[in-house]
Amino acid sequence: MDNALEKTIKLAKQGDSSAAEELIKLYKPMTDAAVASFLPILSDSGYTDEDLRQDAAISIIRAVYAFDFEKGVTFGAYARRCVRNSLISLCRRQSRRVKLAREQDMPGEEEKGYSLNISESFESSLTEYEREVYSLYMKEYKPREIAALLGKEVKSVYNALCRIRQKAKE
């Protein structure tokens, strides 16, 4: 690895904001390419190229803190993977929002009561724990974060999510 790049990464890792900005500028062509490939997917959801660029820049900074020089991977390859994964996660979150909105969408005024009953029956079919998990999951917490917040095992959260999905299908 280039000594100047390594020094910049180490400075950014120590909290030097000018070094972090330098890395963001250095990897701007890579982030622009990633943004260009994901923008068509997310633009219908109201995301702009600036939104995606900001997400990519944040991913570069997260990559700096997580990067390990000893792993034998270049920072560029690692940062590219981090940016791509972040944008994929954004797509997944948006897809989940769209799916939830469709499930909760009420087709007509005359069907409001029916939709409300389905929602109430779904909610009432959940246990207290499942309601807590469901609420946090819909707020976009990850299963590991939910487990930490509720003081439960991650496997328990995954099991609750499985039961919730099953009950939602019924």
Alpha carbon 24 to chain centroid, angstroms: 20
Residue pLDDT, tens place only, 113-167: 444 344 566 677 888 898 888 888 888 888 888 988 889 898 999 898 888 888 7
pLDDT range class, residue 104, cuts 50, 70, 90: low
More confident position, 44 or 48: 48
User: Do the beta carbons of residue 131 and residue 167 sit within 8 Å?
Assistant: no
In one letter, which amino acid is 4?
A
Q: Looking at the predicted structure, is the pLDDT value of residue 99 above 80?
A: no
pLDDT at position 137:
84
Considering the chain, what percentage of its residues have pLDDT values greater than 90? Answer: 27
pLDDT at position 118:
43
Which residues contact residue 91 at a Cβ distance below 8 angstroms, ignoring those fewer than 6 apart? 38, 41, 42
End-to-end Cα separation, the chain, in angstroms:
55
More confident position, 95 or 62: 62
Which residues contact residue 140 at a Cβ distance below 8 angstroms, ignoring those fewer than 6 apart? 93, 96
More confident position, 103 or 62: 62
pLDDT at position 119:
58
pLDDT at position 121:
65
pLDDT at position 1:
59
pLDDT at position 103:
67
pLDDT at position 49:
82
All domains of the chain in start order, with CATH: 3-98 (1.10.1740.10), 113-169 (1.10.10)
Q: Which whole number is the average pLDDT over 56-85?
A: 91
User: Do the beta carbons of residue 56 and residue 87 sit within 8 Å?
Assistant: yes
More confident position, 47 or 76: 76
